[in-house]
Amino acid sequence: MGAGKSTLGPRIARQLGRRFLELDRVVEHALGRTIPEIFVEEGEMRFRTEEAAHAIAALRGAEPVVIELGGGAVENGSIRDEVARRAFTVHLDVEPDTAWERVHTGDRPLAQEEQDFRALYERRRPLYTEAADAAARDVDGVILAAAGIQLAPGLLELLGTFVPDDTPVALVTDPHVGGIHGAAAQLALGDRLVSTHEVPAGEEAKTVSSAERLWRELRLPRTGVVVALGGGCVTDLAGFVAVTYLRGVPWVAVPTTLVGQVDAAIGGKTGINVPEGKNLVGAFHWPGWTVIDPALLETLPERERREGMAEVVKTGLLAGEPLWQLPQLELVRRCAAFKAAVCLRDPHDRAERHVLNLGHTFAHALEAAASYENVTHGTAVALGLRAALRLSGRPTDIIDDLLAPQPVRVDRDRAWAALQRDKKRGLVLLTEDGPRWDVQLPDEDVRRALHELIAD
């Protein structure tokens, strides 16, 4: 009681694109009385019997739904068993003082005496821990938990806790990241670590030859786990190798760059590049865990941080909030939660997830035209955002002032050819009603916007 389930539940459901079911209201509707009336007229046992019947029916339903269980539902063993079998369960954690302050003036039957309320809290607390797959205190925390994302400073040292003790692990990283964080990751993984593999830094990692080398080097069984430690290119490659090796093994993403922590390592997209375009070969393979340790960003060069800010600005534009103004920890958390929610609503990129391509149609064209050399991803995205804002009739001040990208020198015809391949499903633009995806514009308008991004 008083954890905030009724307040946060509808918001969580909207973020996940699911129906919200408040179990207490279902019971009240079924019996035609309020819960206090049920307790007075028929006793708590009558309420608990009805609660269990409706909870189990809801948990067994075929429709994905966000269910708010009453505070005492976990005391029923049948409900706990059904929750364990059928639900991803998040404990909305709350301090007893806060919970009592929220409920003691109301008419809840079990919140009339403070001493009894606190005793009930202590009795139920271990049951919440047993029943829950994760704990959270706000909407973003629930979304991150649902997406398998753990986010907190210092998590690299706890990396071993995300892999079972008897699971063999292959660690994939690049020489730069390995030199800074590799020892800490190896120490955290301990005896689970059976091999370590270095791949080139940057886009050079995302090639067929890099993937083939990993396929040939890996010696994991199907129960093994690939751990990807690095930026977005490392996680893209390692995730792709994981989904294709032995027809699919689990993997854990440990992003070490701002781009990776707010975007690239979230949502299960994996892939490699070919000369004809970026990420043209890939698969969806959601990490078992995405372990985000914002403390790793302390070693990030300023140039790399600016690269990541392009994705932060993109996320803020989509969310309609200046997320780029937040302190680093909150910035990473908010951006990660936003992307996670979009991906949970559209896990296979068939509709709404297309909005995450804001600016990227142009960005991918510039990168492909440069053969993934001399044009960084952050610069390309910043330029692509400028083009998308102009085509949306929006000011580009935030791009010009915060990111300040300069036009790049690439072949215009090659960039246009690459863009046409990516443009078939349309552009992402911003409107007064929010972002729209799959927008078709005349070729001459799009080509003009692309040419403005290219230096003479």
Spatial separation of the C-alpha atoms in residues 407 and 365, rounded to whole Å: 13
Spatial separation of the C-alpha atoms in residues 236 and 230, rounded to whole Å: 10
pLDDT for the residue 425: 67
pLDDT tens-digit profile, the chain (456 residues): 899 999 999 999 999 999 999 999 999 999 999 999 999 999 999 999 999 999 999 999 999 999 999 999 999 999 999 999 999 999 999 999 999 999 999 888 999 999 999 999 999 999 999 999 999 999 999 999 999 999 999 999 999 999 988 999 999 999 999 999 999 999 999 999 999 999 999 889 999 999 999 999 999 999 999 999 999 999 999 999 999 999 999 999 999 999 999 999 999 999 999 887 788 899 999 999 999 999 999 999 988 898 899 999 999 999 999 999 999 999 999 999 999 999 999 999 999 999 999 999 999 999 999 988 889 999 999 999 999 999 999 999 999 999 999 999 999 999 999 998 876 668 999 999 999 999 999 999 999 999 999 998
Spatial separation of the C-alpha atoms in residues 369 and 93, rounded to whole Å: 50
Burial of 184 (0-12, 13-18, 19+ CB in 10 A): middle
3-state secondary structure of 161: helix
Query: Which CATH architecture group holds 149-300?
Result: 3-Layer(aba) Sandwich (3.40)
pLDDT for the residue 280: 87
Spatial separation of the C-alpha atoms in residues 339 and 329, rounded to whole Å: 16
The sign of the CA dihedral 128, 134, 136, 140 is negative
pTM of this structure: 0.92
The one-letter amino acid code at 368 reads A
Q: Are 334 and 313 in contact (CB under 8 A)?
A: no
CATH number of 5-146: 3.40.50.300
Spatial separation of the C-alpha atoms in residues 406 and 380, rounded to whole Å: 10
The answer regarding whether domain 302-456 maps to CATH 1.20.1090.10 reads yes
Q: Are 265 and 235 in contact (CB under 8 A)?
A: yes
pLDDT for the residue 325: 97
Spatial separation of the C-alpha atoms in residues 100 and 113, rounded to whole Å: 10
Spatial separation of the C-alpha atoms in residues 93 and 266, rounded to whole Å: 25
Same fold for the pair 5-146 and 149-300: yes
CB atoms near residue 151 (< 10 Å): 21
Q: Where are the domains of the chain?
A: 5-146, 149-300, 302-456
Q: Which tokens is 138 given?
A: 């706000």
pLDDT for the residue 426: 86
